Structure 1
Amino acid sequence: MKSVPVQVLLVDDHYMLLEALTARLEMEPDFEVVGTACDSERGFFQALELRPDILVLDIELPGRGSFTIAEELRARLPAMKIVFLTGFLSDVFVDQALRVGASGYLMKGESTAEFVAALRSVMKGETCFSAAVSDRLEFDPSEGVFQVKSQTLLNDLTGRQMEVLRHLARGESVKEVARSMTLSERAIESHKYRIMQKLGIHDRVELTRYAIREGLTVP
C-alpha cells in the first residue's frame, strides 16, 4: 500500500529559497509541498486552511512576528510540527523557538539534503537542531526538554513582548508597531512599559540600544 506523503508548508520571504526548497522536496516521494507563502499572515492562514504535517517558518518575516503566529498555530493545530529555518543564530531566538514548542531550529547555510533529513527526523518525533544551535543547548532530564545554556533578562519576556521589543529596536514608532501587530497603540504602550520594567530600563533610547546589543535585530 502506498504511503501518504508528508505535507509541508514553506513560509519565507526569499522567493528563490522557496523555489529551491520546493524543488528539492518534490524530488522526495515521501514529501509533498502543499503551499508556500512570503509573509507571516499568509503563512498563518494557509496553515489553518491546509493543516500541513510540517510548517517550515522563517523567523524574520513581513507582518506579525513568527513566534507569535507559531504560538497561535500550536494552540489551534497541536499535531502540526513547526520547524524554524533561519540565517540568524541568536540564543534569544532559539529560546523563543523552544518556548513555542518548535520541533526544530535549522540554519539556512546547511545543505538541502540535511534539511530533508531533518524533516524526516521531525516526523519521527525527534527535535532537530543545526550543529551550531545544538552547541548552545543543554538537555534538562528532569523536564525532558532542551533549554538554552545562557540566561538573560530577555528570558522573562513573553513572546508578544519580545515581538514588540524587536519592532521598537528597528526604530519603529508606537503607531507603526501597533499597525504591524494589529494591536492598539495603548496596548503597545502597555507592553513597552512592562518590557522596560522587566529589563530595568528607563527610556526608549536605552531600550533600543539594549535590543541591538542583545542581537534582536537581523543585520
Structure 2
Amino acid sequence: MSKIRLLLVDDHEIVRAGLRMLFLAEPDMTIVGEAGSGPAAIQAVAELHPDVVLMDVAMPGMSGIEATRRIKESSPDTAILALTMYEEEQYFFEMLNAGASGYIPKRAAPDDLVSAIRVVSQGNVFLYASLARFLLNEVLPAHETRTEPSSTEGLTSREREVLTHIAEGKTNREIADVLVISPKTVDRHRENIMQKLNLHSRVELVKYAISKGLIQVE
C-alpha cells in the first residue's frame, strides 16, 4: 500500500519538529517536505506533489488561507488540512471556502490529527467535533433542531448509509468495512450521491447531511 505523502507547513520550526516526530511513527505516512511560509508551501507543492498539506492558518506575510487558495488553483487534487490555534468561525469558513478539506485545532489529540490526515487523503472532509457546529448554524436556523431525517431526494438506502458515514468523517476503508463493500464501491456511491444532489464539494455533502438530520452535531 502506498504511503500518504505529507507536506508540513508552519512558520514555527518547533511545531514542525513535533509533527515530524508524530508522523514518523505512522507506517502509512511519509513526510516529503516542510515549509515555513505560504510562498514556500506553494513552491513545495509544485515540486513535491504531496497528497496532503498540513497547513497553518496564520503565518507572517501570506496567510495559510491565501496559500490554500493558490495551491487548490494549481493542484486541485491536493488535500489541505488546516491545523491552527484559531477556532473562530471566520477562519473556519475562510479556510473551507479557500478549498481546505478539513479544519482541526492544535489542541486536538495526536490520534485525532492522524485520523484527520487519513480522512482527507481519501477525498473526504474532516471537521473537528467542536467546530462542526459552525456548519450546523449555517444550514439550520438557531432555534431549529432536527431529530428525524427528512427526505433525501432520489437516494437509495445504501447511498444514504454512505452519505451518513462520509459526513461522520469516516475514511473510505472504514465505510467499506462497516458496509462490507469495497473502497472503490464507496467512491462510486459518493460520486452518484453528489451527481444526484447537484453538490460540488465534500463540504457541501456534509452540510447536506446535517440539514437532513442524517448526523447530529452537538
Read off the aligned partner of 1:64 and give its amino acid letter: M
Conserved? CA contact 1:98–1:146, under 8 Å: no
RMSD: 1.8
Distance in 2 of aligned mates of 1:69 and 1:62: 12
Shift in Å, 1:114: 1.1
CA offset digits 1:192-219 (Å, max 9, x no partner): xxxxxxxxxxxxxxxxxxxxxxxxxxxx
Matches within 5 A, 1:49-68: 49-68=47-66
CA contact (8 A) 2:55 2:64 kept: yes
TM superposition score normalised by structure 2? 0.62
Unmatched 5+ residue regions in structure 1? 148-219
Cα separation, 2, equivalents of 1:15 and 1:113: 21
Which residues in structure 2 correspond to 1:78-93 (within 5 Å)? Answer: 78-93=76-91
User: Any idea what SS the aligned residue of 1:137 has?
Assistant: helix
Q: What is the Cα deviation at residue 38 of structure 1?
A: 1.4
Tell me how far 1:145 sits from its aligned partner.
Answer: 4.0
**TM score, norm. by length of structure 1:** 0.62
Q: Which runs of 4+ in 1 moved over 3 A?
A: 139-147
Summarize deviations over 1:134-174 as a string: whole Å, max 9, x none: 12213868643456xxxxxxxxxxxxxxxxxxxxxxxxxxx
Report how many aligned residue pairs link the two structures.
145
**Percent identity (aligned):** 26
CA–CA distance in 2 between the matches of 1:18 and 1:88? 17
Residue 7 of structure 1: how far off its partner (Å): 0.3
Identify which of 14, 20, 23 aligns with 1:22. 20
Deviation at 1:110, TM superposition (A): 0.8
Q: CA deviation at 1:67?
A: 1.5
Q: Is the 8 A contact 2:79 2:123 kept in 1?
A: no
